[in-house]
Amino acid sequence: MTERSEGLVSAYASDAERDAEISVRPKRLADFIAQHRVRDQLELLLRGAMGRGTPPDHILLSGPPGLGKTTLANIVAAELGAGIRVTSGPAIERSGDLAAILTSLTEGDVLFIDEIHRMAKPAEELLYSAMEDFRVDVVVGKGPGATAIPLDVEPFTLVGATTRSGLLTGPMRDRFGFVAHLDFYTPEELDLLLQRSARILGVPITPDGSAEIARRSRGTPRIANRLLRRVRDFAEVRADGTVTREVARAALAVYDVDELGLDRLDRAVLTALVDSFRGGPVGLSTLAVAVGEQPDTVEEVCEPFLVRAGLLARTPRGRVATEAGWRHLGRTPPNGTFVPGASSTPDLFSAGSAEP
């Protein structure tokens, strides 16, 4: 995954941003705002396991970036009173890397693997036996003389996180005892989250100020907290330090976050689609080149919100700007502009790239 260049409201946080966000992350399930069904299910899972005195089943958390998968992994460890080891799929390049991590775990530990779908195949196959039998076979040597040395692993709980659950193999998915999908937050839920974060950070904020930020936060807690810190900077430098609706609007205008929550890159994608490709359809790679970004960034960061906001549609022939997308840019949509849910195929599909 590629991090967005300006780093302001990207769902992928930089190291510095992650450090700043740690202070506002909830530490217990009771403090976790929203995701009520997932929270209730996790509570049952954890309490049942603690009552039996055994590690809970392995947990898979899926959903777009920034919705709290890493936070929930840390909460699982805190609720169990266990240690946690954190790694990521791309960091596990060889089966030996994973074997070293697994054999260093103590009984009851939580192993968190972020972006688990990007783990190397040999490491994934080693993980199967560790998840089921708490045992790994380490191969020593090569060729006919290679031998497999079985090593026991202390009982542990794996928490896997993925933004692309469809890329997980069937054998991997089947070994998780609990699978949860995290949904985008509502503006009301983000409002509550922002008020809590403002109290922790010591930011004076009015109810209409937090509501204004929540409305433009794309349903994502990570983005909401990041915008709060940027609005705080604006309030301290150019206002009296209190975040009001007027201050929030002025600050977000400085940071190129519009009324719907689109930032510079979102608008660049939508503008390129409308102005350069007559609304589409256009392939992902072509669209990414037009805005000077990587395809992964456009697909993983921009598209989910643009599609959810009804401004862009993904079709078998490529990306298409909807009528709402044209109007959001202040353009008049041509006849035949794509309307989500329409049964017929518009004539507009005759233009543009057919690249998927």
- Prediction pTM value: 0.81
Contact indicator for 323, 333 with CB cutoff of 8 Å? yes
Read off the DSSP letter of residue 273: I
Beta bridge partners of 85: 111
DSSP letter at 331?
P
Annotated catalytic residues are: 69-70, 114, 163, 222
- H or E segment and range at residue 152: strand 147-152
Handedness of CA 75, 76, 81, 83 (dihedral sign): negative
Q: Where are the alpha helices (DSSP H) in 53-120?
A: 69-80, 95-103
Q: What is the C-alpha to C-alpha distance for residues 164 and 162, in angstroms, rounded to an integer?
A: 5
Question: Can you tell me whether residue 200 is helix, strand or coil?
Answer: helix
108: Cβ contacts below 8 Å, ≥ 6 apart: 55, 80, 82, 83, 154, 155, 156, 157
> Which of 200-230 are b and which e, b meaning 16 or more Cβ less than 10 Å from the residue's Cβ?
eeebebbeebbbbbbbbbbbbbbbbbbbbeb
**Beta-strand relationship, 135-140 and 147-152:** antiparallel
Query: What's the confidence (pLDDT) of residue 346?
Result: 40
Q: Determine whether 270 is exposed, middle or buried from the number of CB atoms within 10 Å of its CB (0-12, 13-18, 19+).
A: buried
CATH number of 187-254: 1.10.8.60
Sequence spans of domains, the chain: 35-181, 187-254, 264-350
Q: At a CB cut-off of 8 Å and minimum separation 6, what does 94 contact?
A: 120, 122, 123
What is the structure's pLDDT at 145? 58
Q: What is the pLDDT along the chain (356 residues), one digit of tens a residue?
A: 333 333 344 444 555 555 556 778 889 998 898 899 999 999 999 999 999 999 999 999 999 888 999 999 999 999 999 999 999 999 998 888 898 899 899 999 999 999 999 998 989 988 998 999 898 877 665 656 566 677 888 999 999 999 888 888 888 999 999 999 999 999 999 999 999 999 999 999 999 999 999 999 999 999 999 999 999 999 999 999 999 999 999 999 999 999 889 989 999 999 999 998 988 799 999 999 999 989 888 888 888 889 988 999 998 889 999 999 999 998 888 875 655 554 433 433 333 333 44
Which CATH number is correct for 35-181, 3.40.50.300, 3.10.350.10, 3.40.50.620, 3.30.450.20? Answer: 3.40.50.300
**Cβ pair 335, 283 in contact under 8 A:** no
User: What pairing do the DSSP bridges indicate for beta strands 312-315 and 318-321?
Assistant: antiparallel
The CATH classification number of 264-350 equals 1.10.10.10
Residue type, 320: V
